[in-house]
A and B are shown apart, each in its own frame.
Chain A
């Protein structure tokens, strides 16, 4: 069963907005990916305080010295050291207002929060790198065939206990 939004919450439905905006412009509707089944639900086997956490974010974050994302189905990703200086982080995306993320990349890539939770012992540890990609990818096929296997291989190499996904 596809999920319903939580009850009683005044949600801005961006998917419907996008459908309506494009219809108004005279375009056919994009076929959004549908996930009728929930993805794998694994019960954790250890407390959070003993768990290694990996961050994956889709807000298009890169580090100075890395190539920035392009915006036509860029299926690449970046490895960002989890203690990278905040001032070295940048954003490159076309589908959201990056004003806040460019003031503070943590709003779409919360490295500072994770570091604090690590320092406080709320989480056991962090992986050495977080993974960032640019989520504005229209080709679902390329996402599945190119980005997903690459991200999966990175995650398998880092062996986290927990993955935190931060979309935009």
Chain B
């Protein structure tokens, strides 16, 4: 489990699909709640290495798909990979 292997001084763990570390899109209330829960650990964590699981549950089943073993590799390019083509010309 990634958080455990990094051994941070304190951590809040959100059991959501990868790519949603701070919550669901366009839900600033949830994101704020998550960030606040993490920051509260500064004073609340009892000892180094404390991982506090947060109670949020993703609304639809996702784990079995996430656990499928498949070739999820994508090509890794050594040139800048812009989200939008226009970003490349926008570089200052």
In the complex, are the beta carbons of A15 and B49 less than 8 A apart?
Answer: no
Check if A12 is an interface residue, CB within 8 A of chain B: yes
0/1 per residue, B51-92, Cβ < 8 Å to A?
A: 111000000000100110111101111111111100110111
Q: Is the CB of A113 within 8 A of B19?
A: no
Structural contact, B18 and A68, CB atoms closer than 8 A: no
Q: Is the beta-carbon distance between B87 and A64 smaller than 8 angstroms?
A: yes
Is the CB–CB distance between A71 and B47 below 8 Å?
Answer: no
Contact of A3 among B5, B35, B39, B42 (CB under 8 A): B5
Asked whether B71 lies within 8 Å of A21 as measured between CB atoms, the reply is yes
A44 to B41: give the CA distance in the assembly, Å. Answer: 10
Q: Which residue of B lies closest to A102 (CB)?
A: B83
Find out whether the CB atom of B80 lies under 8 angstroms from the CB atom of A92.
yes
CA A2 – CA B51 in complex, angstroms?
A: 12
Interface size on A, residues (CB 8 A): 76
Contact, CB under 8 Å: A168 / B4 = no
Are A103 and B26 interface neighbours, CB within 8 A? yes
List residues of chain B with CB under 8 Å of any chain A CB. 1-10, 13, 15, 17-26, 28, 31-32, 34-36, 38-40, 42-43, 47-49, 51-53, 63, 66-67, 69-72, 74-84, 87-88, 90-92
Q: Nearest chain A CB to B46's CB is how many angstroms away?
A: 10
B25 CB to nearest A CB, Å? 4
Most buried by A among B2, B21, B23: B21
5 interchain pairs, CB-CB under 8 A: A6-B13, A90-B82, A91-B83, A112-B32, A113-B28
Give the residues from 47 to 85 in chain A that come closer than 8 angstroms, CB to CB, to chain B: 47-48, 51, 53, 59, 64-72
Q: Is A130 an interface residue (CB 8 A)?
A: no
Task: Note all chain A residues with C-beta closer than 8 A to B20.
Answer: 100, 107-108
Q: A39-B8, A91-B83 are in contact. List 19 more A-B contacts (CB 8 A).
A: A3-B49, A20-B69, A38-B7, A48-B39, A68-B88, A69-B81, A70-B81, A90-B87, A92-B83, A96-B18, A98-B19, A104-B26, A106-B23, A106-B25, A106-B31, A113-B36, A117-B32, A162-B39, A168-B21
